Amino acid sequence: MSGTDTTTDLTTTVARTVTDVLQPRNVLLFGMLAVGLASAGDWTGLPWGFLGALCAGLIPAGYIEWERGRGTWGDRHVVDRTQRAPIFLVILGSLGAGALIMVLGHAPLGILIAMISLWVMTTVLLAVNTVWKISVDSAVASSVVALLSVAHSPWWLCAAVPAVAVCWSRVALRYHSVAQTVAGAAVGAATAAGFLFA
């Protein structure tokens, strides 16, 4: 095996690890729990954060795994853009139901804003996806950094490093172009704008 092949294999291995560890369901689980905690100011925000993570990340991930089991898709990445619409619709429905529960349960405002912001982000991703394969993983990673920097502290912007790593991994694995990951990250970062209306 040549040195070039070894370097390529190592790059692929690292990129695969990054994209698997920092996949949307994991990032959203951490991120929404942290937003819930910040929104309530104490541990009572954690159940609301978990509800947010459940609706934004865990239920959609479960749907993808269910469809994989049925043979609809080969893996969680769903590389064919034309097959992604059902996933977006599940996410929108799940986020909408979660936001409604939060309204009825008088959840802290911050976690509700995060849910609505993610719903808007998903709507934009769905619209773009009809014509172009924008990166969802990049959008989610960027959105969580943006939400945490507003809900907690601007110091969370340092977490942009893992978000950039996600963008890199998607390009390295040839799931997306640089433009598609940059566009996804930009849409994700815009989710923090929801807090401007609070």
What's the pLDDT band for 137 if we cut at 50, 70, 90? very high
Long-range contacts of 79-88 (CB under 8 A, 24+ apart): 79/175, 81/129, 81/132, 81/133, 84/129, 84/136, 85/126, 85/129, 85/130, 87/60, 87/63, 88/122, 88/125, 88/126, 88/129
Query: Picking from 41-55, 72-86, 132-146, which range would have the lowest pLDDT averaged per residue?
Result: 72-86
CA dist., res. 25 & res. 137, Å (int): 10
CA dist., res. 52 & res. 30, Å (int): 10
Q: What is the pTM of this model?
A: 0.93
pLDDT at 7 over 80: no
pLDDT at 1 over 70: no
- From residue 150, give the alpha-carbon distance in Å to each of 4, 35, 85, 112, 187: 43, 9, 30, 14, 16
- pLDDT number for residue 72: 83
Rounded to the nearest 10 degrees, what angle do helices 160-172 and 3-21 cross at?
A: 130
Q: What is the dihedral of CA 116, 118, 67, 177, to 10 degrees?
A: 160
DSSP string, 160-174: HHHHHHHHHHHHHTT
Question: Could you read off the pLDDT of 92-112 as tens digits, one per residue?
Answer: 999 999 999 999 999 999 999
Long-range contacts of 59-62 (CB under 8 A, 24+ apart): 59/90, 59/94, 60/24, 60/25, 60/87, 60/90, 60/91, 60/94, 61/23, 61/24, 61/25
Entry field: residues in the chain: 198
Rounded to the nearest 10 degrees, what angle do helices 178-189 and 109-129 cross at?
A: 150
Question: Could you read off the pLDDT of 138-184 as tens digits, one per residue?
Answer: 999 999 999 999 988 888 888 899 999 999 999 999 999 999 999 99
